[in-house]
Structure 1
Amino acid sequence: MKGDYQELVDEISALLGAPATLEDRDFRLIAFGAHDSGSGFDETTLDPVRTRSILTRRSTAEVRAWFEKFGIATAEAPVHIPADPAAGVLRGRLCLPVRHRGVVHGYVWLLAGDDGPPGPVPASAMAVCARIGELLADEARARADLGPHLLTLLTSESADSRAAALAALGGTLGDSGAYALLCAAPWTDPVPGVRTVPGAAALCLLPVPGPAGPRLAALLRIRTAADLSPAHQAAANLLAPAGPVVGIGDPVRSLDELPGAWREASAAARAALARPHLGPVAEWSGIGPYRLLAALPDSGPGHPVDPAVRPLLEPAHAELARTAEAFLDCAGQAGRTASALNIHRQTLYYRLSRVEQLTGLDLHDGEDRLLLHMSLKAARL
């Protein structure tokens, strides 16, 4: 698909004798034409906005606001936009709206001279824009339809259903590249459109029981597995309307790895709900011991609790449980624990003795301390 866009942008560049740039309607770069000696532009005329767009794959908010004030989102004909040094736009622009069935799906940009609007744009160039618009519309429809396939891949117990969903996802997205999967929880709003979440390829809602459900799954294509910044940008958009936490699984390089990435993203979200200091956006790689604990079922009425620790988890003993967890978090150091809880050491020793009485555990025994620590952490999930 990207090759198709590149060929069409090159065709427009040739028709108009100037390097063209194609962005979607969210100002994300799709393809760009190269400068050459016959285009009338050289390295001294390169525009910093165009250069930044090519290097970072998107425009700044200031540049976008300047362009949109000229009505490009509803334009049916080319729009000339003058330079605005205050917004970082040092050269004027000619914007060719990319439309399909009355909807703008993107923009083709060309640098314009400083002597006013350029001449009429040939109908052949606008016809190429229409072909681009049809491709972008088809792609948008395909992305909008991927949610049910993602849901099937993540939840179905049928191998055949999962294989069909994987084929549908791969047919639209391709199976090569890097992907990130996000879990927003709890999600009580309607499922947003993919265009409201930057970079989203598919969104679906999983009605999972427990304190972290229901959950919204967001699938993103990312440029490289080493850079999760697009996932954090998408997470910021998900946090705004509903105020949930967002977990991010480790990036994967194949769509068939998404179920594992979903378990990681869900675990990270559960950890962020249990321990707010980990959130509101938590990566799987950064949740420490909760990576192991999150493999346990969601807590709830049927969640297993070790019988020795059960009395400590009763509401009447919440302060004792908090004290025991702080003591174990501080590696058993009384001074650090008393300081963290802002209590006297003798108060700490009294509470710890009550913990031992309630549980029958010996806080001087490594295995008893491990059992208590993990039980308290698991209870938070």
Structure 2
Amino acid sequence: MRPVMNLDDSLQDLSEALQRRLVVLDERMRVLAYSIHESEEDRERLSHLLAHSDTWRPLPAGIEGPELRDAGAGARWVLVPLRDHRHRVGYLVHFLPAGEDLPPEAVAGLAEGAGRLGVLLSLRTMYAERDAARARDLLAGLLDVRAPADERERTARAMVREGMVGGSEQYCAVVLGVPPAVPDEAAWKARTAVEATLDFVARTSTATVVGAVVEGIGVLVFPRPVVAERLERVLRTPALAEVRAGIGGPVGRLEDVRTSYGQAERAWLAACLDPVTYPRVTGWADLGLDKLLLDLPLDRLTVDDLPDGVRRLLASDHREVDVPTLEAYLDAGGEASSTAAALGIHRSTLYYRLERIRTTTAVDLSDGVARRDLHTGLRVARLAGMLGLAGGQPTSAPGLSPWSTVGS
């Protein structure tokens, strides 16, 4: 084999020398590189690894030799640890058909190739970490509200010139993160979501997308509008079960993408604060009136800022029943049959509750202006985390503003 200093070329050379299809995984069992897989069976196995290898258990510490793992129907996966001069940095994987054992020359070839691939993988990881730090710094500068326009323009040009994001006539921001009420490992989960999205885009699209964790939440910039269904597919893995996403509207210039970022941030908060109303991946265009309400200083509002009728309702002994009842009634435009069906109760039960709500709030529910005040006041209370539970999840932890992780 000719000597090369490139992971992909070295992997292909080793594959041809051993006449075996090979795949390199990183420490987190994600596919980083693979040799040419020509046959349909080889491509099916590669697709399986691309989709599922990150669910595999890493080899325990201290194991230096190959490990065999069941691949079904008597076949096995062979995992060879890859190391640089000090640490394990990944794995070399190949498929062993049923009834076949590795001949001694293949074992020796894999061991020799693994030593070289380990060093090259370590170099790639080091460069990737450097590039990720550079992308994070530039992205943070692009989104900084204090940065002057000319500085943002220079940052945008640098990002395109360095190949971090593709040149385009439209850019769209995405925000990823767990709800503010679930602060444990928030930055780690945001980073995992960003990496999973970047990996998905690299495997399924020609787009060049930049992403990083900025002020505790994941941010990505796409050189095109984002399809919510595809993003939702990325977040289906168990490790990302708590992550929510917001998609901003498109802007015409990269230096203006912080506008899309602000929209994505509010859409993400809507998905976090009201999971009953909003799906896990929410777009800016889906927010309606909440576009305005989410721009209020919700972290500074108290119950005293709400309309009197809403304050009385929140102070009542029946708030846990009457608040969702009134929300459903107002959402249904005051139509009793639809409200009762939505709540799963008989209409006579609904009428009883509505009469109690009229007494508690001292408001005539047939008055359009009064209903507007109640509806808007309850919506603000919901978004500000004053209503306790939304869809079975706390909207904010005790002492934690729902906005505490959001940069201004």
Decide: shared fold, TM above 0.5.
Answer: yes
> Which residue, out of 51, 64, 67, partners 1:81?
67
Cα displacement (A) at 1:20: 2.2
Q: Structure 2, unaligned stretches of length 5 or more?
A: 1-5, 198-210, 384-408
Once the two structures are superposed, residues 167-192 of structure 1 have per-residue CA deviations (whole angstroms, 9 ceiling, x without a partner) of 66557762139974313332645633
> Which residue, out of 199, 205, 212, partners 1:202?
212
- CA pair 371-95 structure 1, distance change in 2 beyond 3 A: same
Decide whether the 8 Å contact of 2:136 with 2:214 is kept in 1.
yes
Q: Distance in 1 between matches of 2:74 and 2:28?
A: 18
Decide whether the 8 Å contact of 2:248 with 2:261 is kept in 1.
no
The residue correspondences of 1:9-48 to structure 2 (distance < 5 A) are: 9-35=11-37, 46=42
2:205 matched residue in structure 1: none
Question: Which one-letter code corresponds to 2:308 in the other structure?
Answer: P
Q: Distance in 2 between matches of 1:10 and 1:140?
A: 24
Q: For this pair of structures, how many residues does the alignment match?
A: 341
CA RMSD in angstroms, aligned pairs only: 4.6
Q: Distance in 2 between matches of 1:370 and 1:49?
A: 58
Q: Distance in 2 between matches of 1:252 and 1:95?
A: 45
1:93 matched residue in structure 2: 78
Decide whether the 8 Å contact of 2:25 with 2:90 is kept in 1.
yes
2:244 matched residue in structure 1: 246
1:313 matched residue in structure 2: 310
Decide whether the 8 Å contact of 1:323 with 1:341 is kept in 2.
no
Cα displacement (A) at 1:51: 4.3
Q: Structure 1, unaligned stretches of length 5 or more?
A: 37-41, 207-215, 240-244
Q: Distance in 2 between matches of 1:166 and 1:81?
A: 46
Cα displacement (A) at 1:371: 5.3
Which structure is higher in RCO with an 8 Å CA cutoff and minimum separation 6?
A: 2
2:53 matched residue in structure 1: 59
Decide whether the 8 Å contact of 1:202 with 1:220 is kept in 2.
no
Q: What percent identity do the matched residue pairs reach?
A: 19
Q: Distance in 1 between matches of 2:74 and 2:248?
A: 38
- CA pair 357-297 structure 1, distance change in 2 beyond 3 A: same
Cα displacement (A) at 1:202: 1.9
1:292 matched residue in structure 2: 291
Once the two structures are superposed, residues 200-227 of structure 1 have per-residue CA deviations (whole angstroms, 9 ceiling, x without a partner) of 7521325xxxxxxxxx3354989x8451
Q: Distance in 2 between matches of 1:89 and 1:278?
A: 48
> Which residue, out of 343, 347, 350, partners 2:352?
347
Question: Which one-letter code corresponds to 1:137 in the other structure?
Answer: M
- CA pair 11-167 structure 1, distance change in 2 beyond 3 A: farther
Secondary structure of the equivalent of 1:185?
coil
Q: Distance in 1 between matches of 2:74 and 2:255?
A: 43
Cα displacement (A) at 1:333: 1.4
Once the two structures are superposed, residues 330-352 of structure 1 have per-residue CA deviations (whole angstroms, 9 ceiling, x without a partner) of 22113444673956455355356
- CA pair 288-179 structure 1, distance change in 2 beyond 3 A: closer
> Which residue, out of 379, 383, 392, partners 1:377?
379
TM-score calculated relative to the size of structure 1? 0.67
Secondary structure of the equivalent of 1:270?
helix
Decide whether the 8 Å contact of 1:53 with 1:59 is kept in 2.
yes
Once the two structures are superposed, residues 235-275 of structure 1 have per-residue CA deviations (whole angstroms, 9 ceiling, x without a partner) of 94473xxxxx6333269799657534533443234324443
Cα displacement (A) at 1:158: 1.1
The residue correspondences of 1:358-377 to structure 2 (distance < 5 A) are: 358=363, 363=366, 365=368, 369-370=371-372, 372-377=374-379
Decide whether the 8 Å contact of 1:335 with 1:345 is kept in 2.
no
